[in-house]
């Protein structure tokens, strides 16, 4: 055994959808494969909307990882709710309200006491992402052996006083991209030892684009959106931009969405936006391969796994220009185009439809970029180098 590492995410498991959660699970299992003893301390929640105790409390084995689940308690206060409303309006609330906000969604007393009693049995304790109770309350308790993977976005949450210790006090910070790293420094002090590790990607062995189209009755070229259908991920904005793009002229391209959350498709886009809901991993990969392009409308990205999945599938990316991270990936790789409005999007769709060879070459540059920078072997090497300094 090389050492013992604990991970502390708010949710964990194969059934949990989310970029940070998927990354946590894959790092944990990757370290197990390299001879580390790995435990996960987390809640019983699966759904990030309700944060209910969906899974039983207690210990289990999942892919060689010991998972310890603790019940979440829901007893938020009016002050916490007031702080949340202030944050949503872009205003940092007073410190007293921030302290109440930390427990607004949930708190996990059992997990806190587990760390209080047994932290010393771990060489490193990895917290991710930055803004949940599991990090804001628990990380300072064990800062001397803590690693933060913040999955940081340029948002009001990141400017809260109660968040500052999460970035400044741990022994180590791991960032997923250079723009995320630079944002952290702009916001304030960062852990003395830190590096950009990137995010590892699994490489599918095969894709079935034609079969995907046949199984779902899709005949026309389509843009794909994959992920959570919610405001912070840019889904309503993409719907509105797509509608305005169609008003400029019909390029014969539909929009297909997969993922969780209410797609809330407007009546005027009926027949042009197709919601396939949540798909198994293999079929999700096939969706990427079948798409004309992948649309990434989210400004709130620290890495963007879905962009990497698109490039691996041989599909170019259309990304919102206001996402510093995704624009950075597109510029470095040459694998995507950025857009700011319906005019940019219409121009990109026209180019994709009339320049298939150039679009294929763009996608191939993106694929090479992922293979050169984000294979798990490379990312785990970076992670292990830091962990070995903590053992």
Condensed to tens digits (0 to 9), the pLDDT of residues 238-294 reads 999 999 999 998 889 999 999 989 999 999 999 999 999 999 999 999 999 999 999
Cα gap 160→100, rounded to integer Å: 12
387 close to 5: Cβ distance less than 8 angstroms: yes
CATH number of 209-373: 3.40.50.2000
Cα gap 218→254, rounded to integer Å: 9
User: What is the model's pLDDT at position 290?
Assistant: 98
Quickly state the pLDDT bin for 48 (edges 50, 70, 90).
confident
Q: Would you say the pTM of this structure is higher than 0.85?
A: yes
- 4-200+375-388: CATH topology is Rossmann fold (3.40.50)
Cα gap 197→272, rounded to integer Å: 39
Q: Is the pLDDT of residue 17 over 80?
A: no
User: What is the model's pLDDT at position 188?
Assistant: 95
Give the model confidence (pLDDT) of 133-182 as tens digits: 999 999 999 999 999 999 999 999 999 999 999 999 999 999 999 999 99
Measured in degrees and rounded to the nearest 5, phi and psi for residue 246 equal -65, -35
Cα gap 97→155, rounded to integer Å: 18
| Structure-derived torsion over alpha carbons of residues 36, 41, 47, 48, reported in degrees to the nearest 10 | -100
Task: Give the start-to-end residue ranges of the domains of the chain.
Answer: 4-200+375-388, 209-373
User: What is the model's pLDDT at position 1?
Assistant: 78
């Amino acid at each position: 055994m090389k050492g013992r590492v604990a991970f502390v995410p708010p949710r964990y498991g194969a059934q949990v959808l989310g970029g940070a959660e998927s990354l946590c699970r894959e790092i944990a299992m990757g370290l197990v494969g390299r001879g580390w003893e790995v435990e996960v301390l987390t809640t019983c929640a699966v759904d990030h909307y309700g944060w209910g105790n969906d899974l039983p409390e207690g210990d289990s084995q999942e892919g060689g990882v010991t998972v310890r689940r603790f019940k979440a308690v829901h007893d938020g206060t009016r002050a916490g709710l007031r702080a949340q409303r202030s944050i949503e309006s872009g205003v940092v609330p007073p410190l007293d309200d921030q302290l109440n906000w930390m427990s607004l969604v949930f708190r996990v007393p059992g997990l806190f006491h587990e760390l209080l009693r047994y932290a010393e049995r771990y060489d490193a304790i990895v917290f991710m992402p930055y803004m949940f109770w599991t990090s804001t309350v628990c990380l300072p308790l064990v800062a001397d052996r803590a690693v933060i993977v913040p999955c940081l976005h340029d948002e009001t949450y990141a400017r809260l006083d109660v968040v500052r210790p999460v970035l400044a006090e741990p022994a180590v910070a791991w960032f997923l991209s250079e723009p995320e790293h630079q944002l952290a420094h702009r916001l304030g002090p960062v852990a003395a030892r830190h590096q950009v590790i990137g995010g590892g990607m699994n490489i599918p062995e095969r894709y079935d684009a034609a079969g995907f189209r046949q199984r779902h009755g899709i005949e026309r070229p389509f843009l794909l959106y994959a992920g959570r259908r919610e405001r912070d991920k840019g889904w309503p904005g993409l719907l509105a931009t797509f509608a305005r793009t169609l008003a400029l002229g019909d390029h014969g391209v539909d929009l297909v969405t997969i993922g969780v959350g209410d797609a809330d498709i407007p009546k005027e886009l009926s027949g042009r936006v197709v919601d396939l809901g949540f798909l198994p991993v293999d079929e999700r990969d096939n969706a990427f391969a079948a798409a004309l392009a992948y649309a990434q409308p989210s400004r709130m990205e620290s890495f963007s796994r879905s962009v990497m999945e698109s490039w691996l599938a041989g599909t170019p990316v259309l990304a919102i220009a206001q996402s510093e991270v995704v624009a950075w990936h597109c510029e470095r790789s040459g694998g995507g185009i950025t857009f700011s409005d319906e005019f940019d999007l219409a121009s990109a769709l026209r180019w994709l439809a009339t320049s298939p060879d150039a679009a294929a070459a763009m996608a191939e540059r993106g694929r090479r970029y992922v293979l050169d920078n984000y294979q798990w072997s490379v990312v785990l090497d970076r992670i292990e180098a830091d962990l070995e300094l903590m053992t």
